[in-house]
């Protein structure tokens, strides 16, 4: 199995934080094996965080709020789809 590495010229974690300009650090690294038509691919994931704890907490809070907002929108879409399905089943007058 050949090893193919796809990377940008400057590693992402070496760039400064977009929010505060502090240095980024790798907090967690793990590998994932994916079965493909050509065999197996091993993907290495890295979780990159800001070294400034206050900035990272603000980012995590914003990310959590956005996730909650997406869940609310998803629930609304599901409710709308169910309402459309009920209307489609009703006989037309």
CB 15 within 8 A of CB 24: yes
Per-residue confidence (pLDDT) for residue 67, from 0 to 100: 97
State the pLDDT at residue 81: 92
Split at pLDDT 50, 70, 90, the class of 88 is confident
Please write the tens of the pLDDT for every residue from 44-87: 998 999 999 999 999 999 999 999 999 999 999 999 999 999 88
- Whether 49 and 85 have beta carbons less than 8 Å apart is answered as no
13 pLDDT higher than 80: no
């Amino acid at each position: 199995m050949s090893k193919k590495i796809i990377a940008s010229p400057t590693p992402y974690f070496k760039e400064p934080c977009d929010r505060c300009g502090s240095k980024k650090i790798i907090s967690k690294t793990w590998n994932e094996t994916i079965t493909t038509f050509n065999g197996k691919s091993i993907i290495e994931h890295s979780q990159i965080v800001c070294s400034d704890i206050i900035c990272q907490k603000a980012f995590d809070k914003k990310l959590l709020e956005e996730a909650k907002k997406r869940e609310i929108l998803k629930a609304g879409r599901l409710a709308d789809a169910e309402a459309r399905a009920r209307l489609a089943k009703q006989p037309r007058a």
